[in-house]
Structure 1
Amino acid sequence: MLIGRSAELDRLVGVLDAAAAGLAGVALVGGDAGIGKTRLVTELCDLAQRRGFVTLTGQCAELGDALPYLPLADALRGAAADAGGPVGPAVTARPALRRLLPGDETGPTEGTTGGLAQQRLFGSVLDMLSEVAGRQPVLFVFEDLHWADRSTRDLLVFLTRMLQRERVCLVGTYRTDDLHRRHPLRPVLAELRRLPLVTSVEVPPLGDDDMAEYLAVLDRCGEGPAEPVAGRGLTTLIERAGGNPFFAEELLAAGAERARLPGTLADLLLARVETLPETARQVLRVAAVAGRRVGHDLLRDATGLGDLPLEDALREIVSQRLLTAGSDGYTFRHALLQEAVYDDLLPGERTRLHTAFAALLAERRGSPAELAHHHLAGHDLPGALRASVEAGRLAAGLGAPAEAHRHFERALEVWKQVPDAERLAGENRARIALASAAAAAAAGDYHRAAEQVRRIRREASDPALIAETGERLSYYLADAGGDEAEAVASAREAVDAAPHSPLLARALATYARALFRQYHEEEAAATASRALEVAEATGARDAEVSALVSLALIEEEFGSSVEHPVDLLTRATRRASGDLSIDLRARFNLARIQYENGALAVAARITEDGVRLAGETGLTWSTFGTDLRFLHYLVHYADGDWDAAERLAGGFGVRVGTRAEAQLSSFALFVEVGRGRPVADERLRWLSRFWSDELIGYMARGMAAEQALWRGDPLTALDHVDAVVAALEPFDPSVIRIAATGLWALADLGRTGEPCDDLLRRARWAAQNGPNGPRGRLGPEGMAWLARAEAEWHRAHGTEDPQVWRRATAAFGFGFRYEEARSRWRLAESLLRTGDRAAARAEWERAVHTAAALGARPFLQTLRAVGTRAGFPDPTATVPAASPASPAAHAGDTHPGDARAGDTQGGAAGEQPKAAREPARLSALTAREREVLAHVAGGLANREIGERLFISQKTVSVHVSNILAKLGVTSRTQAAAVALQEGLSPGAADGNTV
């Protein structure tokens, strides 16, 4: 029975219900030690299981910093043990997760340690949860996060960011009273609470009435003293408990009315321990050294007791509810009890027991991290050094670089105090220090990695070590955005010191990278070429692929053609480097160059191959795995496979809380706006907080402008365009597309002059002066957007020449189906204005077919409105067309060369029945003149009428003059009045044919 926690439980159930409905959520449950967090979450788990959830529970421990991913391993171990459960097969199918299970001997895959291994593990956890949630909703509980290791904290943040529509609920508990000012969980909680998925639940002390009810329930259950507590004793107990249920329960169990109450909770807990027989007390002390949990066999060997004495002692301890028995061992009923017993040990007693546990775990080939912990606590420095190095290597392989770095650092701290340290570690001190630096870099701490390498360099005398540390220092400085001059100098020293070997190839590749970053393009290209030669000669496959990629990027930016970079990157993708990060980088850059140069089919194949490789190796969420998926989406957006693009965007969350999430989300807008999806509005609301970011602002506000234009709101579109243009650098090619969008809005508004000229000027300048200067090449898409901007400028100025729109249509003809069709729409309108109806109809029909195939609803609606005004039958309509003999079938078949002849024919064939019913004053007007008059009555100017009817402004003026003469009036106002008197409504023109 849960007492006094209904409000907190309701909030957690709300997150659970949302997850069941397909909206992932995270709940952070905080409160003081003993306040009832575990009891609350246990109730939630029971409720979730009754509702069909799969429940996973993992517990952090005080050894959390030594044991990476302990709660994940704990949860997976329990789930995998259930052979018939849904989680086991999903775990065993993923090597990165299998390695967390006991008895698995799978080593890290070649080329995937440290940061890359962590990306693989994180992606595997996300995929596993998504797979299971596809069958049943999932509740995953992380208990005692205040003890979590850095990698577990990072995993929780990753899952919180990535989970969106999966049926997954994450719950984490933590002690608020343990979070001192510099506790590492503090910034994590602050970050998570800003995310939209997260619900924060604070568990407060119980009120007096709830506490009295709780104690009464305990009394009835027989967990209190022999006689019920009442009166003054109950009041005193409630006062002393301070709203803490665990404290109250311990007070009750100690017999609150019969003994003097201890001053602290620790005293109270120890007072209960002191009531045990001596043997039981000793067993409890030994168990406390093992941690929160201990296996039966390990406890037996550590106590040295026979089976019967041990069982008697354990039976007494369990009966007093100090330990709880599980399937394979014992757990302290509350972490506070384990802490109190452990803290009460004498220093010598503590050292002796840790030493005993270290010896027992070594015999059992226990966890190196646990071994290192017990060796250190037992003051066995040689054992601690050996176990710490082994734990560091294991953590790196598991994908826990922060823990690997800490283990290596612990070994280095005791190195000088340990005789024969190099033999125990299996490597010299410099190699361990380099491994520590690599782990720090993999954990994202490049500054610490660089400083560590600097220390090694100061002590180094061996040329090979000088070369290696110089290469690594340059690499870390580049990734940290550090001193570029130092990066170049250290790489140059590495090249000078390295022998002709794979190390020289790597040093040359890094030196080329550093030179490239400082725009020494000729030297960078020569150095990269030399790196490639040395790599091929020495068999350094990783350096060879890296050099090929670097040389390709240098050639792309500073070379004269695109063929050479493509050739280099093609060679790189055909060579397996042994480093998956390099292999994915090669595929991404090759696909990117092909996409930017209009080879969409080739880019699609390469991105598909890269995405598949990332998926097969568990690196879907790695840096280049993610970049490949972005590019795969954009390729399909351009080539017209919008269904595939939307499937790829299924994981692009709407509710974003970080820049990385917002950038991911922005991509989804391209198809959502193009298809008129309602979710685009919600996505834009979430993204609006990130519009100050240049890339996100460009993508999101650019698509918001397009959405506004489809909705007939060019002023709002211009607001977005102006904001984006102001944020972009003048030479950024992105200016060209956003300028074209702005010119679309200005043309719709009929504005010319400086606003139009300024946007076109900006587009032209960006095209001619890109980031690489006048030498830079503008790809086919950039040239197409420039042609679009030119055409929109002409449209704004009323130019009737269809050639500008032919050029824009042809420019997008490299395969960008949507934009080609949008240019074709404007070409059709331009042809209509010049009277070439046959050509206009052909272009319009092609645009309609494309829009329908894409599912581009706003565009298709616009095209259909154009067709209605032009009298073109919809080629995609599902209803039967009119009979050829009917007047309607011929209403639009005017002669393309003569607008007025077409008007006459339209009046004779298409409008006779209607004209016969019209008043006599209007009977003298042709069908076209009646259309023009209806628009005049509606208050439209000649230019607007021309746009509606696809005729020139001059032609409208001629029609208006004819109307005034035929009606015998002298002004547009008088003509409008006649139209209204005779029953010709302003809206009637929209239903007439041309």
Structure 2
Amino acid sequence: MSIHAVSPLFVGRARELAALGDALVRARAGVSSTVLVGGEAGVGKTRLIGEFTDRADDAMVLVGGCLELGTEGLPFAPFTAVLRGLVRELGRDGVAALVPGGTTRGLARLLPEFGEPGKDGAEARARLFEQVLGLLERLAEERPVLLIVEDAHWADRSTRDLLSFLVRYQRTAGRLLIVVTYRTDELRRTHPLRPLLAELGRIDWVTRVELRRLTRREAVAQAASILEREPSPATMDLIYARSEGNPLFVEALLSEAGGGDALPESLRDLLLASVERLPDETQELLRVASAGGQRIEHDLLSAVAGLEESALSRALRPAVAGNVLMVDGEGYAFRHALIREALHDDLLPGEHTRFHTRYAQALDHDLSILPAPRGAIELAHHWHSAHDSTWALASAWGAAAAARKSTAYDEQLRMLSRVLELWDQVPDAVERIGADRLDVLKQTATVAHLAGEYERSIALATAALADLDYATDPIRSATLLRQRGLTRYDLGRPGHLDDLRQAAELTPADKPNKLRGQVLESLSRMLHMPADWPERLATARLAMEIAHEVGDANTEAHALISFTWSHSKYSEIEAQMEAFAEARRIAYRDEAYNALMRCAISESDALEGAGWHERAAQVAREGVEEAGQYGLARTSGTFLSINLAEPLVSLGRWDEALEVVEHALDLAPPAPYRASLQGFATDIALARGQFDRAEKLLESSRSVLARGTYRDQTVLPHLCREVQLLQARGEMEAAMGAAGRALEEHDLLASPRYSWPVLVTSAQLLSAVVPPAQAGEAARSGGAALEGLARLGAALLPRLRALGQELEVEGDLQQAQRLTFTALTGPDTPLEGAVEPFAWQFKAWELAVGAWASLRQPYAEARSLVGAAHAALATGDRQEAAARLARARELAGRLGATPLLEQLDVFGRRARIGGSDEAADGHPLGLTARELEVLREVTNGRSNREIAEVLFISIKTVSVHVSNILAKLGVATRGEAAATAHRLHLFDASP
């Protein structure tokens, strides 16, 4: 009787195979997608992928796996493997011809065949990501591409980042299917892959498939296929109970126990038993191979084993035939990681040290056996596993340098951390690496910041500073203080300004030097409060002069931008544009991409703040395109998309703004950028009455803002949206509370550009509750709910007016906001007897309408026209009221601003002006007179019983009226009905 090592029959995976097949069909049609395939170890992920790729037909199959070395991964391992496979198939020049832009310096970070990498820095990583995606796009033009990333549970951070980028932006690649496999049993609560899977799972084109264990019937079919006969029920009972349906365990049990006659004590024994049946020389080679990791190159295994080629082949063949090892490109892979782990764990202490030492020596002799930075990192791993502290430290230092060239900051951080861990064990560590411990701490703090480990960066910088004598070592002290200050700023922590000021004091002032220029530029950029602006101006000027003298174009351009912001005003926008253009010229001299992007960001932001919306949009759009050319689409490009969406919203080009937002979100921007982008989508959703969508968007923004401390430009617009949504929902008391907290908890005088919208939003809320002129009357009479709200309004109004008097006005945009605020809250001083209140109000609204019209902001203009129409009607001028109403309706209609259109319709019906269609009975929204009475009481918060008592009708009749009201208003609850009444001003006191 023969026993197959692997079941010839593929069982229990028809549904999963069909899901992958459907995804490939969609990819062939040009609809890209991703499938995440999870399952515990041994459940059959590899077999599923193998069966699927066998059916892939015309697709180009690119396979790369994540590598595991102890508890460490290798940066970009699967993508390096894919690239090597492409080079083998197409040749180096063939791959290079497919790279967008014709430059392969980014890919050189993965394979040395592509030459030397370009400059290091934040942009290098972004360019690498863009080039990998561009390569896949070009390949997919020829035929469908199937990219398989195996064992993502071992993925290093760099691999996870690149994978996330490709998945989010794969729709641009056309015919691309990405399949990712991972072990679910490895995903402990703190495993770094868990948040990535959750994040990717929310993307529309991502599907998750989790392989379950086999049912008993499926396990029987698998066993029968392996044994070539049906096992006895008793045997199958034992095997199924022990394996619990894990296909690998079923297979191993059958192979080990000859059908289940004897069971091993543990899985390790079971897996090692399959190895022990192999020849002794093969077992010895497998033990050597187990120290090399899950996958091992042939040349490296040959060098470590010390066997002649014929002897090596003779030892390998039984392992491959016995399905313990599989041929994998230019090397070998264990059929299952559990087999390698069991072998490695079973090594004797002496064997463990000896084998890892052999690997380290082989790599030391010829590091080119493995591609960079994998070779350097594996070398460090093996010296560390061999317990050789001296060489472990030295190789970790070298691996850190190799990881930096690949922009693999997380791996660089891990290697530098190992250097610090081993430092005290190596007496001559300084001589070994050419740097002292403080230098290592300084570099590790910087890399921790780049890797996003902000807390750790602060701790490392603080530890280094504690060991430094500022007087005797001022340069390193200043460098570390600057690093800690930058990181504290990113975390919103106090002390960042103190760090930077102290760093500035420590840098030599007698002779210009690059570090002093950098410190002063960083300091000037972080001085935001009005009281600090004189210092910001002087510091930026000095940084600019120093950077110019030492030839640091990047710092000089940044300093000029900060200097321009320090002294320019929105009323002097042309002068600002000239200064930003000069900063751009300086940055171009040294290809300072970061400074160039900041120029575009600053220009578009200043133009928008001044109310020059068209030019702001043009500059931002050009900046987005420029960011793509520099490989910075995900970072600077998405930030500039924020600056593009804002003027488009102002100009009423809402659909275009939504397209910009969606495109930027597809690029997976940093969380704060995502929150800002979603903020503009929220503005449009609120204006169009899409309140459920607005709530979802706001919830997403809340989760981001809760994790950090952000500046007014992010926080204050969010507060406005919170108030507006509560008001739209009819939760007026909660809206009033939110507005009151905004006034109390924020220094609104510090940021006029972002504070004026807060004041206007709060004033609009008060006018919806009760007009300021009638607050006192409403507080004395009216329903209990209205009376309570009026009291809140009466308390809030004086604070609002006081802030409005103190807050500065700079530029046409803020002037328009100030005029709107004044029209909403009334004059600052009592009117003279000769001026009628409503005549004054009409004039105030007319000024606001004119200001918004000149700025070409149709939504703000339409809302101001509503105020002007009310005021005109109050003065008795129905013709002027009708004209304002018609213009407002025209603007709102173009925008699709449904709530405003509804408000205009109700106002026109009540006033019988503007050509509004009347209901047969003359009442708004088709409500009867009695239904309007009931709705008024519902809006006042009365129950059905209370309404029945007030209107002298039965409770049952009230219930019928309420049901009719909900149906006519198209709402589901009494609260929504009340919200609609508030929004449409159905029960406002007549002018």
What's the TM-score bracket when you normalise by the shorter of the two chains? 0.7 to 0.9
2:847 partner letter: R
Report the CA distance between 1:125 and its aligned residue: 6.3
CA change 1:127–1:6 in 2 (3 A) is same
- Native 8 Å contact 2:560 2:579 kept in 1: yes
Aligned to 1:961: none
CA-atom RMSD in angstroms? 5.3
Report the CA distance between 1:825 and its aligned residue: 5.6
Q: Distance in 2 between matches of 1:476 and 1:934?
A: 57
Q: Distance in 2 between matches of 1:126 and 1:741?
A: 48
- Residue 527 of structure 1 aligns to a residue whose secondary structure is helix
The answer to whether the aligner puts 1:241 opposite 2:243 as a matched pair is yes
Report the CA distance between 1:323 and its aligned residue: 1.7
Report the CA distance between 1:859 and its aligned residue: 5.8
Report the CA distance between 1:568 and its aligned residue: 4.8
Report the CA distance between 1:330 and its aligned residue: 2.4
Aligned to 1:394: 402
Aligned to 2:820: 788
CA change 1:228–1:862 in 2 (3 A) is closer
Aligned to 1:540: 552
Task: Find 1:670's aligned residue among 679, 683, 695.
Answer: 683
Q: Distance in 1 between matches of 2:310 and 2:426?
A: 42
Structure 1 unaligned runs (5+)? Answer: 221-226, 771-775, 875-891, 893-926, 942-994
Aligned to 2:277: 275
2:480 partner letter: T
Aligned to 2:520: 508
- Native 8 Å contact 2:253 2:259 kept in 1: no
Aligned to 1:446: 454
1:311 partner letter: S
- 1:583-732 pair list within 5 angstroms: 583-622=596-635, 624-651=636-663, 661-674=674-687, 681-685=692-696, 687-688=698-699, 715=730, 720=735, 723-724=738-739, 726-727=741-742, 729=745, 731-732=747-748
- 1:833-912 pair list within 5 angstroms: none
Q: Distance in 2 between matches of 1:38 and 1:934?
A: 62
Aligned to 1:907: none
Task: Find 1:475's aligned residue among 462, 486, 502.
Answer: 486
CA change 1:625–1:425 in 2 (3 A) is farther
1:491 partner letter: A
1:245 partner letter: P
Report the CA distance between 1:350 and its aligned residue: 1.2
2:360 partner letter: T
Report the CA distance between 1:544 and its aligned residue: 1.7
Task: Find 2:41's aligned residue among 13, 33, 36.
Answer: 33
Aligned to 2:290: 288
- Native 8 Å contact 1:422 1:428 kept in 2: yes
- Native 8 Å contact 1:509 1:543 kept in 2: yes
Aligned to 2:411: 403
- 1:167-182 pair list within 5 angstroms: 172-179=180-187
- Residue 263 of structure 1 aligns to a residue whose secondary structure is coil
CA change 1:351–1:24 in 2 (3 A) is closer
Task: Find 1:549's aligned residue among 561, 564, 569.
Answer: 561
Q: Distance in 2 between matches of 1:240 and 1:708?
A: 58
Report the CA distance between 1:172 and its aligned residue: 4.6
CA change 1:488–1:437 in 2 (3 A) is closer
Q: Distance in 2 between matches of 1:657 and 1:17?
A: 33
Q: Distance in 1 between matches of 2:697 and 2:341?
A: 45
Q: Distance in 1 between matches of 2:301 and 2:926?
A: 94
Aligned to 2:943: none
Q: Distance in 2 between matches of 1:18 and 1:764?
A: 60
> Could you tell which deviates more after superposition, 131-140 or 29-38?
131-140
Aligned to 1:351: 356
- Native 8 Å contact 1:598 1:814 kept in 2: yes
Q: Distance in 2 between matches of 1:799 and 1:306?
A: 103
2:514 partner letter: P
CA change 1:587–1:933 in 2 (3 A) is closer
- Residue 331 of structure 1 aligns to a residue whose secondary structure is strand
- 1:799-818 pair list within 5 angstroms: 802-812=842-852, 813-818=854-859
- Native 8 Å contact 1:404 1:439 kept in 2: yes
Aligned to 2:988: none
Question: CA offsets, 1:594-622, max 9 Å, x none?
Answer: 21122223322332232223221222222
- Native 8 Å contact 2:389 2:422 kept in 1: yes
TM (normalized to structure 1)?
0.73
CA change 1:294–1:637 in 2 (3 A) is same
CA change 1:161–1:502 in 2 (3 A) is same
- Native 8 Å contact 1:288 1:341 kept in 2: yes
Aligned to 1:148: 155
Q: Distance in 2 between matches of 1:766 and 1:306?
A: 86
Aligned to 1:215: 223
The answer to whether the aligner puts 1:572 opposite 2:574 as a matched pair is no
> Could you tell which deviates more after superposition, 667-676 or 541-550?
667-676
Task: Find 1:67's aligned residue among 74, 82, 107.
Answer: 74
2:842 partner letter: P
Aligned to 1:102: 111
> Could you tell which deviates more after superposition, 627-636 or 195-204?
195-204
Q: Distance in 2 between matches of 1:635 and 1:133?
A: 36
Report the CA distance between 1:58 and its aligned residue: 3.5
Report the CA distance between 1:147 and its aligned residue: 1.9
> Could you tell which deviates more after superposition, 699-708 or 376-385?
699-708
> Could you tell which deviates more after superposition, 312-321 or 569-578?
569-578
Question: CA offsets, 1:33-72, max 9 Å, x none?
Answer: 213333345566678x58x988665322213835212234
Report the CA distance between 1:476 and its aligned residue: 3.3
Q: Distance in 2 between matches of 1:543 and 1:819?
A: 40
Report the CA distance between 1:163 and its aligned residue: 8.4
Q: Distance in 1 between matches of 2:692 and 2:922?
A: 37
Q: Distance in 2 between matches of 1:629 and 1:657?
A: 13
2:282 partner letter: A
Q: Distance in 1 between matches of 2:183 and 2:844?
A: 68
> Could you tell which deviates more after superposition, 638-647 or 533-542?
638-647
- Native 8 Å contact 1:66 1:369 kept in 2: no
- Residue 786 of structure 1 aligns to a residue whose secondary structure is helix
CA change 1:797–1:656 in 2 (3 A) is farther
Amino-acid identity (%): 31
Report the CA distance between 1:336 and its aligned residue: 1.4
- Residue 582 of structure 2 aligns to a residue whose secondary structure is helix
Aligned to 2:944: none
Q: Distance in 2 between matches of 1:316 and 1:551?
A: 72
> Could you tell which deviates more after superposition, 533-542 or 730-739?
730-739
- Native 8 Å contact 1:535 1:544 kept in 2: yes
CA change 1:10–1:839 in 2 (3 A) is same
CA change 1:293–1:23 in 2 (3 A) is same
- Residue 290 of structure 1 aligns to a residue whose secondary structure is coil
Report the CA distance between 1:757 and its aligned residue: 5.6
Q: Distance in 1 between matches of 2:675 and 2:559?
A: 33
1:265 partner letter: L
Q: Distance in 1 between matches of 2:905 and 2:87?
A: 58
Q: Distance in 2 between matches of 1:839 and 1:201?
A: 64
- Native 8 Å contact 2:111 2:371 kept in 1: no
- Native 8 Å contact 1:280 1:317 kept in 2: yes
